[in-house]
Amino acid sequence: MAVLMAIGCAQDPGAPAPFGAVPTEGQVAWQRQELLMFYHFGQATFSGWDGENPSCNGQAWSEDLLLNNYKPGTLDVDQWVKVAADNGFREVILTAKHHDGFCLWDNPESTSDVANGNCSNHTDVVQAVRDACNRYGVNMGIYLSPWDRMIEAEGVASDVYEQRYRKAVKDLMTRYAPVVEFWFDGNHAGQFDWPRMNRAVLEENPQCVIFSDGGPGCRWAGNENGMAGETNWSTLDLRGRGITPGKAGEGYETFLAQGDRGADAWVPAECDFSIQDIGDPDGWFYDPTDRVKSAAELLDIYYKSVGRNGVFLMNVPPSPDGVIGEKEKAVIEEFTAMRKAVFQDNLARGAQARASRVRGNDTRRFGAQNLLDGHYDSYFATDDSVLTAEIELALDGSKTFNRVVLQEYIPLGQRVERFTIQYRKDGRWTDWAQGTTIGHKRILLGPAVTTDAVRIVIDASLACPVLNEAGLYYDPF
């Protein structure tokens, strides 16, 4: 009898084990935000020179020059963060110091800051952003440029500056906590002891996501157009490539956009760009003559960043009036309206979902219906030995769609490397689109089709596929 029972009862396989490199809690929370806003503001807002050039309007860099250039008559930092919050941006990042060396807080390691008695406006802008983030429920990140024109002008030794810089990092991490992301720009980043610099951040907040060319929390996507690769692994071969904040290596445009398949470090892509066309010499700071991108362009960038397993980081530089300009604000609001119009109605809602194989035949815990329940922590999975799957969505009537959204449950790693979307036409399955990686989110764009059934075919995976969301949408734009 005991033998018959053993044969007749399937053994519960339990939940899938994590596969390969997996994200920290902080990285998962960071990526689920999807939309981040960048604020470049400082003396360059008024002078038009951000430190990229060796002189400022023909004048050599000096502390007096920086202090004289910075002259905001008004500052409405609350408005900056409200614009972000009202439009679904869950994190904002402030440039506490750009390449010019001017600091937007009372930096104990510098006198080139807003606290200097010769500065016309002593507002602690970092604190103002911190306060506004608290009011609107938005997370806060901080950018601190390793490159510093004032340090060069003063002839400070690199080891002395490294100590000052690390102390400034600690000051920002403690005084304005919680800081959820810290930005180390790779431009002229120098040869600091970067592991030690990372520890200065993580000792204050172990879940803080550190950005640089190679992370370790998140990586540059290899361009400033806001676009990840169509194939985009969240894993990166940090050790093998020898990446540091100032050293990405040859071919970085490709491998930073795509990541490294099955690598041992979880370093997802952050896709940065500016709402204004980036010109010279103003760079990322406000310029009234720069063209502002259209809402349609922003939606396209959203598809190529968030829709390719990246994070959308849009620079919205405040104007010399101390506010986000009306032109930029209007475009952001139109982008929000377009995004909501596309994604407010999941056309797969109400569908009956079934899969060719379900982990342990336990459809309640691991069945395909979990893709449609709206719960992040419920998912579809197969048995460990099953690396392919077919998931059929029998729709609630005929639906017309041209966008498909898929998500992997990334707390257990990234697995899928090739898949196909099919729809039923005249009783036969017809290919609609094919893709490679999924990760946190993949949005496929294709022709509008009308059907009563869709099939998701996982063609290849590194480990048993684990998906937690599927959606069909129609983009009228």
pLDDT score recorded for residue 2: 38
Residue 17, in any domain of the structure: no
Give the closest residue to 452 by CA, choosing from 395, 393, 403: 395
* Contact yes or no for 238/215 (Cβ under 8 A): yes
| pLDDT single digits (tens) 290-322 | 999 999 999 999 999 999 999 999 999 999 999
Cα distances from 357 to residues 327, 435, 448, in angstroms, run 52, 21, 29
Domain count, the chain: 2
* Contact yes or no for 257/269 (Cβ under 8 A): yes
Q: Domain check: are 165 and 268 in the same one? A: yes
Q: Domain check: are 366 and 327 in the same one? A: no
Q: Domain check: are 375 and 453 in the same one? A: yes
The residue among 343, 367, 385 that closes a domain is 343
How, if at all, do strands 59-60 and 55-56 pair? antiparallel
CATH code: domain of residue 435? 2.60.120.260
| pLDDT single digits (tens) 394-453 | 999 999 999 999 999 999 999 999 999 999 999 999 999 999 999 999 999 999 999 999
Q: 3-state SS string over 76-122?
A: CHHHHHHHHHHCCCCEEEEEEECCCCCECCCCCCCCCECCCCCCCCC
3-class DSSP state of 256: helix
pLDDT score recorded for residue 313: 98
Give the closest residue to 205 by CA, choosing from 215, 192, 217: 217
Q: Quick check: 280 pLDDT over 70? A: no
Nearest-angstrom CA–CA distance, 430 and 104: 57
Nearest-angstrom CA–CA distance, 372 and 241: 39
Q: Domain check: are 169 and 193 in the same one? A: yes
The residue among 292, 310, 343 that closes a domain is 343
Q: Domain check: are 231 and 332 in the same one? A: yes
The mean pLDDT of the chain is 94
CA 441 to chain centre: 12
Instruction: Provide the pLDDT confidence category of residue 187 given band limits of 50, 70 and 90.
Output: confident
pLDDT score recorded for residue 252: 85
Residue 3, in any domain of the structure: no
Q: Quick check: 243 pLDDT over 60? A: yes
Q: Domain check: are 331 and 377 in the same one? A: no
CATH code: domain of residue 306? 3.20.20.80
Residue 2, in any domain of the structure: no
Nearest-angstrom CA–CA distance, 323 and 77: 7
Could you tell me which residues come within 8 angstroms of residue 363 by beta carbon, excluding any fewer than 6 positions away?
369
Residue 13, in any domain of the structure: no
Structure tokens at 104: 């937007």
Instruction: Provide the pLDDT confidence category of residue 3 given band limits of 50, 70 and 90.
Output: very low
Nearest-angstrom CA–CA distance, 449 and 400: 5
Q: Domain check: are 227 and 325 in the same one? A: yes
Residue 14, in any domain of the structure: no
**Helix (H), strand (E) at residue 447:** strand 442-461
Q: Quick check: 324 pLDDT over 60? A: yes
The residue among 343, 368, 394 that closes a domain is 343
Nearest-angstrom CA–CA distance, 439 and 437: 6
Q: How much is the average pLDDT of 25-38?
A: 98
Q: Domain check: are 157 and 206 in the same one? A: yes
Backbone angles phi, psi at 161, to 5 degrees: -65, -40
Q: Tell me which residue range forms the domain holding 65.
A: 25-343
Q: Domain check: are 311 and 368 in the same one? A: no
- Beta-carbon count within 10 A of 296 CB: 13
**Helix (H), strand (E) at residue 365:** helix 363-366
| pLDDT single digits (tens) 82-94 | 999 999 999 999 9
Q: Domain check: are 379 and 447 in the same one? A: yes
Q: Domain check: are 166 and 274 in the same one? A: yes
Q: Domain check: are 415 and 439 in the same one? A: yes
Cα distances from 225 to residues 75, 211, 298, 339, 370, in angstroms, run 29, 17, 11, 19, 35
pLDDT score recorded for residue 244: 82
The lowest-confidence range among 48-52, 209-213, 223-227, 460-464 is 48-52
Position with higher pLDDT, 54 vs 67:
67
